Amino acid sequence: MTDYVIRPFRTMEECHECVALQEDTWGHGFSERVAPAILKVGQILGGVSSGAYDSDGRLVGFVFGLTGLRDGEVVHWSDMLAVRPEVRDAGLGRRLKAYQRDQVMALGIEKMFWTFDPLQSRNAHLNITRLGAVIREYRIDMYGQTDSPLHRGIGTDRFVPLWQLPTERVAGRVVDDPRHAFDASVIDADSVGVALSASTRSDTLPAPGRVDLDLRGDWVSVEIPSDVGEMMDRDLGLAQAWRAATREALTHYMQSGYEVREFVRGQPTSTYLLTHIGKAE
């Protein structure tokens, strides 16, 4: 793997390069992009505005976040992270988050938050399985309607991960310590209540089944399509049906005291596992 260098942006030119990468990721003219001046001001106020550079000095990824008060506590909000498509699945996104964790922990901060789409399995795997975040908040259409092609037609529902930076779970998963990896054998599969599972249509795209809102057990599962991007390309209506079903299931159980604790990747669907808040600590 390339030995990327991760460091703060040093010049306004580098901040402009970051804006260009934002547009490459979320669409040219994307109205939610973070301007160069805000990238610079964020650094002054204890935030993180940093890029990952390859051996040729090319910007191939970045992370941006702001530090501030939430419910009277100083926390860090990670607003954006992107990695160029040609270097994805090489662990760079995880390295950027680990770098960000080190930077804000040096300031004495113990909690970090950000958002991601519950239907994006790649992000779920990184945030939960690789980084050890848990999820206790679901925001419906958090950003309203945007002009990014990534959001076309399915709205902007978002999870808000809670990354408890000093915990053994987080520290272990960031460095791939097997002692802190998810071990499915500790859960009795027969005791996992199925809140939402999939059926497969004749064209092989999975369709959401009926949502069960009457479960009371220790663990609850919610399936999602593993490639919602492909589904949006092939059948936007089906992707919208998944949005509606997962929204119903996840908001109900999270409002009932469950948190998203683990994520299991698969094909053509992947699975969130929810348990009572604090039970699996």
Domain CATH for 23: 3.40.630.30
Q: pLDDT at position 88, please?
A: 85
What is the Cα–Cα distance from 242 to 231, expressed in whole angstroms?
10
Boundary residue ending a domain (48, 69, 84): 84
> What's the pLDDT at 280?
59
In a domain, 196, yes or no: yes
Number of domains in the chain: 2
pLDDT for residue 19: 96
Specify if 172 maps to a domain. no
Final residue of a domain: which of 84, 107, 139? 84
Whole-angstrom Cα distance, residue 259 to residue 274? 5
The stretches in the chain having pLDDT less than 70 are 1-2, 145-152, 202, 280-281
pLDDT at 182: 92
Is residue 50 situated within a structural domain?
A: yes
Contacts of 7 (CB under 8 A, 6+ apart): 50, 51, 53
Per-residue confidence (pLDDT) for residue 250, from 0 to 100: 98
Phi, psi of 199 (to 5 degrees): -115, 160
Domain end marker among 84, 105, 139 = 84
Contacts of 102 (CB under 8 A, 6+ apart): none
Residue length, the chain?
281
pLDDT at 257: 97
Q: Is residue 166 part of a domain?
A: no
Query: pTM of whole model > 0.95?
Result: no
Phi (first) and psi of residue 243, to 5 degrees: -60, -45
Residue 208 lies in a domain: yes
Alpha helices in the chain (DSSP H): 12-26, 36-44, 92-105, 121-124, 168-174, 228-234, 236-255
Q: Determine the structural domain holding residue 218 and report its residue range.
A: 185-276
DSSP-derived pairing of the beta strands 111-113 and 219-225: unpaired
